[in-house]
Amino acid sequence: MPKLNRIGMKYMKDFQEVGLSDIRLVGGKNASLGELTQNLARLDIKVPAGFAITVDGFDACMKSGTIGEQLKLLIDSIDYQNTRSIQQASEKAKSLILEMSLPTDLIDEIVLAYSKLILKYGPETHVAVRSSATAEDLADASFAGQYESYLNVYGKEELLSAIKKCYASLFNARAMQYRIDRGFALEFAQLSVGVQVMIRADLACSGVCFTVDPDTGFRNAVVITGAWGLGDNIVQGKVEPDEFHVFKGALEEGKYAVIRKKLGAKNLTLGYAHDGAGLENRPTPQTKQKSWVLSDEEIHNLASWSVRIEKHYKRAMDIEWAKDGITGELYIVQARPETIHGKDTHLVLREYRLSPPYPPVVEGQAVGVHIATGKARVLHSLIDAFRIQPGDVLVAETTNPDWDLVMRKASAIVTNHGGRTSHAAIVARELGVAAVVGAMGATDLIADGEWVTVDCSNGKIGKVYKGNLEFKEIEHSLDNLPKTKTESMLVLSDPDKAYEWSFYPNAGVGLMRLEFLIANVVQVHPMACLRFDELKIPAERARIEELTEGYPDKAAYFMDHLSQGIATMAAAFFPKDVIVRFSDFKTNEYASLLGGRVFEEHEENPMIGFRGASRYYHERYREAFGLECKAIDTVRRKMGLTNVKVMIPFCRTIRELDLVLSEMAKNQLNRGELGLEVYMMVEVPSNAIEATEFAKRVDGFSIGSNDLTQLVLGVDRDSGLIAPLFDETNASVEWMIARTIDAAHKAGIKVGLCGQAPSDNEAFTAFLVKKGIDSISFNPDAIIQGIQNIHAAEITSTKRELV
């Protein structure tokens, strides 16, 4: 792409002529665009052409007439402790700039540079005019959204007007407050302006890429959001965008890397106004609302670009993208350092616990992992901003950068609209407060002035409860956590929290339960997906049709959601082992799924009935087990996440194990192929008694101490009447466990234990360590205590050996 002819130009720089070393000349945004244009175009990353008006142009305006002196007097008069004083100075400063005349030589250069863009790209070319400040897009202060940008600008008069508006935005009250808060002197602020060819995303789509998960700081995934039309709807939180997670490891290996997809509502599309001037929002047709904005190929393309940009900048990045609706090409229109997690060390883990006594008022997407309480302040516009007090919970339709001063007072933020990359979400992360975005109806359902509790501690779903509910905040320091020979693994089920849990000290996932995924994400009985025509209950049919919309093959719906959940967990802990246990619902639990009553029989004692391995080869469930196997195979073979192992639960006999292994093989899950390891739960007494024979057919045992104790002692673990009899340290139970460990080690296979007892009972932990167990798996809230118990047991065991 040819450079602009700059002969005789003092104030213009083509993007190809600037880079990150030129921030003082063209500001952070333009310097980054230049860096991309100069260094990444050879990697096939497309950046729209354009030019920067340097800060020298801004300085020329400040030296023209008396405007510079007037602005200095205004700045000197500000009472920095008085918000009203800042706002008044802002209005006066902006008025002065909008009324000034641009220097003639500056106008001439702008018009000449603009004319060259028109000459190259055609007379109908529109441009984006973006502010680019010298203190913007820095590693520790993004200034995102503080200054103005103007899209769909056409003609030299509109261009000159937009440039003046950008200059004026340097003195937005929010931008002035931001600079004050971060110690940037107001009188030394400078602004460059970028003029960039408009990409016709109004006819296609646009969005944001993060090369780090914006909520947790997890670095091995690219998170992409997108919506139809221009991207301001996403930033301002007016639409819920589609969201895609791409695992970097699979991307680098050339594997299918999209580990997670979430379809957003995308109810509005921002495009050019019908009269050709400015922009307007229009309702998105239903068919497009239900369609993905990007194909898998485009998702991979954007993710690959994002990784290359991250490697070039040597840090996590926040990247804006757009797709041209005429050419179908993707473009990167902006890239800035991600400022929230750049310095995270994760040496301290904070855990929040809340047990709400009643259902939430509203739900939406959670931002952050905090819990906060405060009086709800429902604001319908900034006219009411004076009503919010420090510590209040801000409840609004949506927010934009004008709300920044108000948001800084809030203990939490709740908005009707928006996704995890909306303005409200970005500011909440920067402020370190909880936010629930996309909480439809929040401004109507939450009463102004009532106490509310905002809970973002349980994955991607944020909840708002009435009342000032008590919660626990527990801080775990990881600086001095002891090292142990016995591995500490995690017992997990919810993929929404996988990124967060990956920062916990662990040797991998010793047990991932599929039941949570099936019950809470899929929600449909697998046989109802396979034999939907047999389901005659109208209400259930309608609900399943709603859930599986976009899936003509309902079995594909089941497999997609299962494989995405497993892949998210596997990616979060890669390359550590993630041992996925095949589904182990009881018949009554399966029956509670949508469509489940048709395919399940009543059992008097489901705890020891048709569950676990007995289902997998049975005619009543064999097809459904095939779906589970295919989901696992997709994750391992297609995505390359071979750290996934599988585990067979509640397997009563050797013959039953052989039948299950045979069914697995029929569905491409062959033990040893692509390194596939097969584990078996030891929870039936026969497993321990015949451990030597079972060990010949598997790669490891995982002792399920709850079920094993229940069946050895004949104690219903759910019965409160006989709860005192339930005891994992009973001699008979310990004999079964010791026998299993010995048999595993003689066969040369691994053996671990999953259960609560080792974190609650130091004596039981000491018993396991003494017997030489390889690993113990804990729930996340118990792993710190569990590690400490293991460490104490190992020290005691070592001392005994020395004696």
* Phi, then psi, of 81 in degrees rounded to 5: -85, -5
Sign of the C-alpha dihedral computed for residues 383, 462, 422 and 168 taken in this order: positive
Q: Is 754 a catalytic residue?
A: yes
> Which residues are paired to 650 by β-bridges?
none
Is residue 464 within a helix (H) or strand (E), and if so which, with residue range?
strand 461-466
Catalytic residue among 423, 525, 561, 791: 423
What SS3 class is residue 282? strand
From CA 703, how far away is CA 653, in angstroms rounded?
Answer: 16
Place of tokens 């001699």: 731
> Which residues are paired to 149 by β-bridges?
130
Cβ atoms within 10 Å of 358's Cβ, excluding its own: 9
* Phi, then psi, of 623 in degrees rounded to 5: -60, -40
From residue 473, how far is each of 313, 369, 496, 588 by CA, in Å? Answer: 36, 11, 20, 36
Helical spans, DSSP H, in 328-422 = 404-407
From residue 306, how far is each of 111, 215, 316, 341 by CA, in Å? Answer: 34, 18, 9, 17
Q: Per-residue b/e over 479-498, b at no fewer than 16 CB within 10 Å?
A: eebeebebbbbbbbbbbbbb
Is residue 254 within a helix (H) or strand (E), and if so which, with residue range?
none
Place of tokens 């692509």: 674
Catalytic residue among 341, 561, 754, 791: 754
Cβ atoms within 10 Å of 765's Cβ, excluding its own: 26
Tokens coding 326: 């005429």
How would you class 597 by CB atoms within 10 Å of its CB: exposed for 0-12, middle for 13-18, buried for 19 or more?
Answer: middle
Beta-carbon contacts of 474 under 8 Å, excluding residues fewer than 6 positions away, are 350, 351, 352, 353
Tokens coding 216: 């947790």
From CA 17, how far away is CA 222, in angstroms rounded?
Answer: 29
From CA 491, how far away is CA 497, in angstroms rounded?
Answer: 12
Tokens coding 119: 């000459």
Of the candidates 342, 345, 341, 349, which has an alpha carbon nearest to the alpha carbon of residue 505? 349
What SS3 class is residue 638? helix
HSE, CB side, 13 Å, CA atoms: give it for residue 30. 34
Bond prior to 575 in cis (omega within 30° of 0): yes
Cβ atoms within 10 Å of 306's Cβ, excluding its own: 27
Q: Is 423 a catalytic residue?
A: yes
> CB–CB of 201/234 below 8 Å?
no
Please identify every residue annotated as catalytic.
423, 754
